[in-house]
Structure 1
Amino acid sequence: MGKEIFQVILDNQNAVFYPGQNVSGRVDLELFDELKVTAINLSFKGYANVHWTERSGGKHKHTRHYSSNETYFNNTVCLFSGKHGDSVKLQAGKYSYPFNFQLPPGVPSSYEATIGRVRYFIQSDIDIPWAFDKHTRRMITVVNLLDLNTVPNAMNGATKSDQKTLCCLCCESDPICAMIAVDRTGYVPGEAIVFRSEINNKSDREMTCSKAKLIMQVRYHATTKTRNVNNIVNQTAHGKIEGGGTDVWMNEKLHIPAVPPSYLQGCNIIDIRYYMTMTVDPSGLGFDLNVPVEVVVGSIPLASIAQQHGMTLPPPPPPQDPSLPPPPPGAPQGLYTDSAMPSNLPQATLAESAMGRVSTREEGDTDETQGNTNFAPVYTYYNWDKPDPANTFTVQMDEGDTVN
């Protein structure tokens, strides 16, 4: 048996919180032998970080680092200490230390990826004299709700078209033309995007296939450079298009898995956008034709769409008295008077990110660091068009791929 059980226990067992909410729980320590300690501390940390490297140069290559950081909170409290900083022998037994912490308003949703993250956790540390300190960490998810009813034109449809020509030796082909249209631009995870598309292959070249993709474009802003990463969060395909042929997609659907809301509001170094994209792939040499139309993925559905699914959203708050001062920065906006998901929305659930789990080990972690270090945040998900949020996938596109 080990020498201790050391863990952070949350009163809210699903570990999902909203900006401005209270986070409470306790640190439990069970010792099976006596342990000499100087202090037991508890830290609450929330931050965003971006970091990647690029190699350049010819024969003498060098690596350049790009990074940026934002800190939303970093608070530490002492749960236990000896007098005047002296060490104390804790006898075998159980110890419990309650805690309470309020999240700041307006902090962004949790997000985890290889080169960027918005991360929140609670960590307790045992300071042990003349030995390795012990640490335990509890990751939490923060959901900053994006209300589609506050997004201009989210109920409106959108259409995009484009064309390109293929060159073979000195000859230029007639164009390949593609159009894609969506009935509206605002959606929530769990819905399906209904779209139409028409492709006219006026060239004499065969097109290998056409693909409809939902692409999550993430822009990571370092201090001196910005990097785009495009993730295919869902896709479907049609077969080949002969030279002079056409391909029509009529009222087809593409499901939206559990993904973070558009914009990642509250974060200044990571920006998320979604594009419904039609891709035409020519056989042989030649670049794909990509025709994207931007859609917005939110947390709160459009009121008229929710009503179609038998869901009644809370009424909007009454207009603010113009004689009163404006609300403070970060105050919740839209249909809700607080920033938490209303309890009367039974069709709204929380599902683990379709991006999958990542290692959340921090710099300085050792074998003495315990806790849930294999973690994925969760996002709002509506059991409407596809009840199983896990039946989805994500693919990171090759570096340099674009959607527009």
Structure 2
Amino acid sequence: MGKKEKPSRHIKCEIRFDNNPLAIYRPGDAVTGFVELTLLKNKKFRGICLRINGFASTYWGSKVKNGSTNYKKRNISFKGREDYFNTISYLVGSDVGNPLEIVAGSYSYPFSVVIPANAPASMEGTFGHIRYMIQLTLERPWKHDIVNTAPFTVRVDSDLNLLAETLSLPTKAETVSCFYFGLTEPLVVTATTPRSGYAPGEVIEMVMHVNNQSIVDIRTILVKLQRVDTFISQVPWVDKKVEYTVLEERYTGKISRRHNARFEENILIGAGTPSNDSLCRIVYTQYEIEIVVHPSRSRKRPTLRLPIVLGTEGLTSSNLNPEAIIEKQRLAMADFRPPSAPPAQMATSEAMAIPPPPYTDLPQNSVSTFQSYSLEGPAENECAKGSEPYTPRDY
């Protein structure tokens, strides 16, 4: 691919998908359509190449020591790639042939490809992505190539009932902390959920017990539902980057020394990419509830993590009647507070705010903060001239 330049004003190209204006597909689907090429004047091309591919890519830069005895650091580019399918066909000419003159006019070229059954879902992150694209390249002699790209989105269905035996089990996490070099009684924080598998529209009912027998007050406890994206490099060696995206966070009230407390948090699950840690070896997505304790007069930050699996179809054994589901969603929405809100007092059954409208009446992502706190990484330009910036469609 040559240096980018503005598309020629004598060449127009449009890539269309058959009966799928949103270009959203699932593994196993056939992606069909056609390329419309219009030349306003005669043009010479070495070849017209159509490429359809799906791939995962990771990339970031880091400074590492230059040798074991040299303290100077050098910049290293970490990269990884995994291809799922890659078809290349020349509609006109070839990559090594003589230039051919194409007369002015309109030309239509059909295309078709089947997405593999084990292809992962489309995904975009700071340190990598999973993308699916159709690319038409007009290879010109003695000039830069003209490239037009049309992305399409792959969604993956995830039925949690296939792992019901595991995902329906309760989860539990506990941390025991002592302050002042262990000279005080411990602080014990325990968190539980009734199961680990959830689908959009369901509510995580988390219960947290705090046994503070220490002489340190707990200023607040932060509860976060977050997506964890992991990116793995292959060259120059295997390394890993992790990006955390906060979907929702809550703050508890103060817990005084020598006191116990119990908190109940109802967290509504919004739409999102399903958990995936098996379809792609270099990019995968997980979810978790992270609980961070903020004591007064101490730098310690005791932390708990509860793993959560997000699917597209919930556990059948956990389904409730519609009225109960709506009531749980109302409670979860009533508990939702943005990160900028001041720490709230402990929730009690006597003091309950007026619930907002049900989840089904709200915008898709209205219950999430989507706050990301990873470091900014270098961008990789997979789209060439004549193409729009790539943005996969949400679930």
TM-score by length of 1: 0.73
**Alpha-carbon separation, structure 1, partners of 2:205 and 2:289:** 10
**Counterpart for residue 280 of structure 1:** 293
Partner SS state of residue 132, structure 1: coil
Flag the 1:360–1:29 CA change in 2: closer, same or farther, 3 A: farther
Partner SS state of residue 110, structure 2: strand
Q: CA deviation at 1:140?
A: 1.5
Contact kept in structure 2, 1:106 and 1:144, CA below 8 Å: no
Contact kept in structure 2, 1:108 and 1:264, CA below 8 Å: no
Q: Which amino acid aligns with 2:29?
A: Q
**Counterpart for residue 21 of structure 1:** 29
Contact kept in structure 1, 2:246 and 2:371, CA below 8 Å: no
Q: Which amino acid aligns with 2:84?
A: Y
Structure that is richer in strand per residue: 1
**Counterpart for residue 275 of structure 2:** 262
**Alpha-carbon separation, structure 1, partners of 2:213 and 2:391:** 49
**Alpha-carbon separation, structure 2, partners of 1:215 and 1:253:** 15
Residue of structure 2 aligned with 1:212, choices 220, 223, 248:
223
**Alpha-carbon separation, structure 2, partners of 1:240 and 1:75:** 60
Contact kept in structure 1, 2:221 and 2:292, CA below 8 Å: yes
Q: CA deviation at 1:277?
A: 2.5
Q: Residue deviations 1:196-216, cap 9 Å, x none?
A: 112232222222211211132
Partner SS state of residue 120, structure 1: strand
1:233-272 aligned within 5 A:
233-250=247-264, 252-272=265-285
Q: Which amino acid aligns with 2:112?
A: N
Contact kept in structure 1, 2:293 and 2:301, CA below 8 Å: yes
Q: Do residues 362 (structure 1) and 374 (structure 2) align?
A: no
Q: Do residues 376 (structure 1) and 388 (structure 2) align?
A: no
Gaps of 5+ in 1: 311-346, 380-404
**Alpha-carbon separation, structure 2, partners of 1:355 and 1:94:** 47
Q: Do residues 68 (structure 1) and 76 (structure 2) align?
A: no
Would you identify which runs of 4 or more consecutive aligned residues in structure 1 move more than 6 Å? 350-353
Residue of structure 1 aligned with 2:210, choices 199, 212, 217:
199
Residue of structure 1 aligned with 2:112, choices 96, 100, 105:
100
**Counterpart for residue 385 of structure 1:** none
Flag the 1:216–1:287 CA change in 2: closer, same or farther, 3 A: farther
**Counterpart for residue 356 of structure 2:** none
Q: Which amino acid aligns with 2:253?
A: G
Contact kept in structure 2, 1:200 and 1:246, CA below 8 Å: yes
Q: Do residues 128 (structure 1) and 140 (structure 2) align?
A: yes
Q: Do residues 163 (structure 1) and 176 (structure 2) align?
A: yes
**Counterpart for residue 317 of structure 1:** none
Partner SS state of residue 299, structure 2: coil
**Counterpart for residue 91 of structure 2:** 79
1:177-188 aligned within 5 A:
177-188=188-199
Partner SS state of residue 371, structure 1: coil
Deviates more, 1:104-113 or 1:194-203: 194-203
**Alpha-carbon separation, structure 2, partners of 1:55 and 1:360:** 17
Contact kept in structure 2, 1:110 and 1:120, CA below 8 Å: yes
Flag the 1:285–1:83 CA change in 2: closer, same or farther, 3 A: closer
Q: Which amino acid aligns with 1:146?
A: S
**Counterpart for residue 314 of structure 1:** none
**Counterpart for residue 341 of structure 2:** none
State the superposition RMSD in angstroms.
3.1
**Counterpart for residue 140 of structure 1:** 152
**Alpha-carbon separation, structure 2, partners of 1:166 and 1:159:** 24
Q: CA deviation at 1:122?
A: 1.1
Flag the 1:86–1:227 CA change in 2: closer, same or farther, 3 A: closer
Contact kept in structure 2, 1:144 and 1:265, CA below 8 Å: no
Q: Which amino acid aligns with 1:233?
A: L
Flag the 1:192–1:30 CA change in 2: closer, same or farther, 3 A: farther
**Alpha-carbon separation, structure 1, partners of 2:103 and 2:254:** 73
Flag the 1:198–1:82 CA change in 2: closer, same or farther, 3 A: closer
Contact kept in structure 2, 1:360 and 1:374, CA below 8 Å: no
Partner SS state of residue 85, structure 1: coil
**Alpha-carbon separation, structure 1, partners of 2:95 and 2:289:** 62
Q: Residue deviations 1:47-70, cap 9 Å, x none?
A: 122233332347512233433321
TM-score by length of 2: 0.75
Partner SS state of residue 166, structure 2: coil
**Alpha-carbon separation, structure 1, partners of 2:390 and 2:308:** 31
Q: Which amino acid aligns with 1:27?
A: V
Q: CA deviation at 1:361?
A: 5.2
**Counterpart for residue 12 of structure 2:** 5
**Counterpart for residue 331 of structure 2:** none
Q: What percentage of aligned pairs have identical amino acids?
A: 25
Gaps of 5+ in 2: 1-7, 324-359
